[in-house]
Amino acid sequence: MKRTRKRLPYTPNSVIRSALRQLWMRSRERAAALKSTGYCCSRCGVKQSKAKGKEVVIEVHHVAGIDWDGMIDLVRERLLQDPGRLEPLCKRCHEEEGRSWTE
């Protein structure tokens, strides 16, 4: 007998956090921060390395921190809204609606 997992009626926080992390890891801002220091730690100067036995990973730290819960709440509030507050439109009508927001 095959068991099926019941799907949540909304996107789980873990999925949102994963998508935001993936966006950050591929961002130009992160890449620019790494490039600006030559892929070296800005505190101790150690350089990133993939040499076997001498692996060093340089990460990019948010000085002001990240409020993950607040960011996830904002994504839910602005993007992943209740289906009752969403309106499926064809591409043309959606573009027209978008123009009315910018006027």
Q: What is the DSSP letter of 42?
A: T
Query: How far is residue 11's CA from residue 25's CA, in Å, rounded to a whole number?
Result: 21
pLDDT band at 48 (very low <50, low <70, confident <90, very high): very high
Q: What is the pLDDT of residues 51-79, one digit of tens each?
A: 999 999 999 999 999 999 999 999 999 99
Global pTM?
A: 0.76
Give the orientation angle of helix 68-78 with respect to helix 13-25, to 10 degrees: 100
- Please give the span between the terminal C-alpha atoms of the chain, in angstroms, as a whole number: 57
Helices (H) and strands (E) in the chain — how many of each? 4, 0
